[in-house]
Amino acid sequence: MANRSWLVTKSMSPRAKILALFSYMGVLCLIPLLFNNDHNDYVRFHSRQGLVLWVWGVLAIFSLYIPVLGGFIFSFSVLMIALFSIAGVVSVIFSRAWKLPFIGQVAVLL
């Protein structure tokens, strides 16, 4: 089986690229999930990864209620979410579908 951790998409509409960019902007990840009417696999791929990042961010907020470790867990989560979001945006800019570490495996389950 070929390694499909990235996918080059040469003929992509500007609408698909914009929807894919929204995937990595927090709660805006819901826009591609709701408005991907043409069922573009590229947009679906990025929106699933963005949804996993957003859910991770919401769970990180709840970690602040944990005494002592909550702040560390939250800070680590925010840093990782920011790095993964930047990697996702770069992936969209280069018209590729990079499977983010850990995030990609969870997104496949959606």
pLDDT higher than 80, residue 1: no
For the chain, the first-to-last Cα distance in angstroms comes to 22
Q: Which residues contact 88 (CB under 8 A, 6 or more apart)?
A: 23, 24, 46, 49, 50, 53, 98, 100
Q: Nearest 5°: phi and psi at 96?
A: -125, 165
Instruction: Report how far residue 9's alpha carbon sits from residue 103's, in angstroms, rounded to the nearest whole number.
Output: 21
Give the residue numbers spanning the domain of 80: 14-108
Mean pLDDT of 16-44: 89
Q: Is residue 18 part of a domain?
A: yes
User: Model's pTM, two decimal places?
Assistant: 0.85
**In this predicted model, what pLDDT tens digit does every residue of 39-96 receive, in sequence order?**
888 899 999 999 999 999 999 999 999 998 999 999 999 999 999 999 999 999 998 8
Q: Is residue 37 part of a domain?
A: yes
Q: Is residue 2 part of a domain?
A: no
Q: How confident is the model at residue 104 (pLDDT cuts 50, 70, 90)?
A: confident
Q: Is residue 21 part of a domain?
A: yes
Q: Is residue 87 part of a domain?
A: yes
Q: Is residue 49 part of a domain?
A: yes
Helix ranges (H only) for 1-110 are 14-22, 30-35, 41-62, 70-93, 103-108
Asked if 107 and 49 touch (Cβ cutoff 8 Å), the reply is: yes
Instruction: Report how far residue 55's alpha carbon sits from residue 62's, in angstroms, rounded to the nearest whole number.
Output: 11
Question: Looking at residue 72, what is its pLDDT?
Answer: 95
Instruction: Report how far residue 41's alpha carbon sits from residue 8's, in angstroms, rounded to the nearest whole number.
Output: 12
Q: Is residue 100 part of a domain?
A: yes
Handedness of CA 31, 32, 38, 39 (dihedral sign): negative
Q: Is residue 7 part of a domain?
A: no
- The count of structural domains within the chain is 1
